A and B are shown apart, each in its own frame.
Chain A
């Protein structure tokens, strides 16, 4: 429904209203702090609880993961694929550990479910690529985080 508004004569010329608006713009431009940052050079400091790129924690060069499959079980996006195997120094270890990172929703439930403190989400958020990427075990084993 159209409402007929009571417009005063001065408002009808718009000029004063335009100047008022310009004054607000100028106030923000000249006197308030910028909310944006110069991104690649400047970085924001995110919380330690930020959930970014995954990594598998290793202790003395051996992956903590024992391929217990709790992370693929709990994963709501079903993006973790593990194949378990056996080797002389470790009864059960992941032969293959893949994260289909485009499917991942960064909920962090894998980290929470892990009984071995193996899968971790680091603070790294620069993960954009030009093609679809599946993180494999070697890539995940690069120790990126400090959690």
Chain B
């Protein structure tokens, strides 16, 4: 295998790998701005220039594929002085507004300036300023902070498939903007904020909510559709502040759609029911469960479970339903018109899929059928869902009991509502469209008085005072 030497460390590489990636593998950090592993290489920020022996000039590490026997110095005097000069050059026009910039704390420019730049600047000229036009509901633009890395332009053209960002004018007056100043069209606009190495493009949704370093991060999976994109939930004080993609080359690469990114809003929504409710009024868990049992007693029950519930919850319900309601039917629901994985298909060319629930495949694997319509003769319906599945029309049913995450208007007609947990408040397994098992991780504690489904069913089955036991029956479901 071909070998090269980076800062005295010998590394093996496969043909075509660039120096940044190889160096990262042996723990040598090469600073960069315009390079992004998911985008084409343009080598225009010049920050990653390194010294390669037998080459007269510094070489940009992002655009230099390694070759056998190559000897690279990333910390030589020339490379270091180049880094320092580039930092000074980039900061000539960069405003000193880190205190009010949402990117501060996770900003490439800030970090590289701290590590490779100089604490003092020699310029006293005025910095260029721009008037910023609105870029639609997702992204807030601040051109003053831009360093012209063109990551956003390349992301639009290469990944999102829309050429919407362009660079106009030249040199110092370059402005990165949308064509004719139109708002962004793509459904993947949130990624612009992720890939921007400065605070030029930031999320409007997260604007001034928290500083980056205050957020506690949990690696989990998106529940927005059956794709199962890897995602990180960032929360503070039990409130989810934002979600960002987690790289997974086999599923979502570096990206996340806006639907999945902003899906979490229902979790901390004010209209979410977070206390047991009986006939529209708040009550205790004990009396709500008793009322729910009373409402369904002796009736022909249809158990409707959202296909956004995890495998563990599905297994619990499959065991619970026939015991609690003999003669009942258990069906799953999620997206109108999609009851089986055969109807699920890509909804666009990048990530989105038609099934808007995360675990359709898992429910099907456990042998539960999807609900087209309410079967004839149904007297009562028990609806259980995690928050994402779209409720079917239950107008004709006289008795509805709901367990899970609902907002007030959705369960106005329900006799009893028992608040459950959303994807961010529980651990569990979901199976994506291609059969890939992934773990949901709990990032926040259940909001209000919400309980896990296992606990609710325990209350239901045993007396109200029964202590919650670990979900023993779930053992063996997960490989």
Contact = CB atoms under 8 A, between A and B. Distances in A.
A73 B214 contact: yes
A70 interface: yes
A73 B211 contact: yes
Given A84-B208, A86-B208, A92-B208, A69 B100 contact: no
B313 to A, nearest CB: 36
Contacts of B211: 68-69, 73
Nearest to B210: A69
Nearest to A65: B99
Interface in A81-111: 84-86, 91-92
B213 interface: yes
A67 interface: yes
A116 B210 CA distance: 18
Contacts of A67: 100, 208
A70 B213 CA distance: 10
B113 to A, nearest CB: 15
Interface in B206-228: 207-211, 213-214
Interface in B78-101: 97-100
Contacts of A85: 208
Given A67-B208, A84-B208, A86-B208, A92 B100 contact: yes
B196 to A, nearest CB: 18
A116 B99 CA distance: 9
Contacts of A116: 99
A115 B100 contact: no
B213 A73 contact: yes
Contacts of A70: 99
Interface residues of B, number: 12
A30 B214 CA distance: 61
Nearest to A114: B99
Nearest to B213: A73
Contacts of B99: 66, 68, 70, 92, 115-116
A66 B100 contact: yes
Contacts of A68: 98-100, 104, 211
A69 B214 CA distance: 9
- In this complex, the interface size class of chain A, counting residues with CB under 8 Å from chain B, is 10 to 19
Nearest to A84: B208
Contacts of A91: 97, 100
Interface in B95-151: 97-100, 104
Contacts of A84: 208-209
Interface centre among B97, B207, B211, B214, by most chain A C-beta atoms within 10 angstroms, is B211
Nearest to B97: A91
A70 B105 CA distance: 11
Interface string A38-72: 00000000000000000000000000001111100
Nearest to B96: A115
Nearest to B211: A69
A73 B210 CA distance: 11
From A66, A69, A115, name the one whose CB has the most chain B CB atoms within 10 angstroms: A69
Nearest to A68: B99
A76 B207 CA distance: 26
Contacts of B97: 91
Interface string B56-75: 00000000000000000000
Contacts of A69: 210-211, 214
Contacts of A115: 98-99
Contacts of B207: 86
A86 B213 CA distance: 21
A85 B207 CA distance: 9
A10 to B, nearest CB: 74
Contacts of B209: 84
A68 B97 CA distance: 10
B206 to A, nearest CB: 11
Contacts of B210: 69
B447 to A, nearest CB: 20
Interface centre among B98, B99, B104, B211 (most CB of A within 10 A): B99
Nearest to A95: B208
Contacts of B98: 68, 115
A70 B211 CA distance: 9
A78 B209 CA distance: 18
A99 B98 CA distance: 23
Contacts of A66: 99-100
Nearest to B99: A68
12 contacts: A66-B99, A68-B100, A68-B104, A68-B211, A69-B210, A69-B211, A73-B211, A73-B213, A84-B208, A86-B208, A92-B99, A116-B99
Interface of B: 97-100, 104, 207-211, 213-214
Given A67-B100, A68-B104, A92-B208, 18 more contacts: A66-B99, A66-B100, A68-B98, A68-B99, A68-B100, A68-B211, A69-B210, A69-B211, A69-B214, A70-B99, A73-B211, A73-B213, A84-B209, A86-B207, A86-B208, A91-B97, A91-B100, A92-B100
Interface of A: 66-70, 73, 84-86, 91-92, 115-116
Closest 7 pairs between A and B when the two form their complex, measured CB to CB: A68-B99, A92-B100, A84-B208, A69-B211, A66-B100, A66-B99, A115-B99
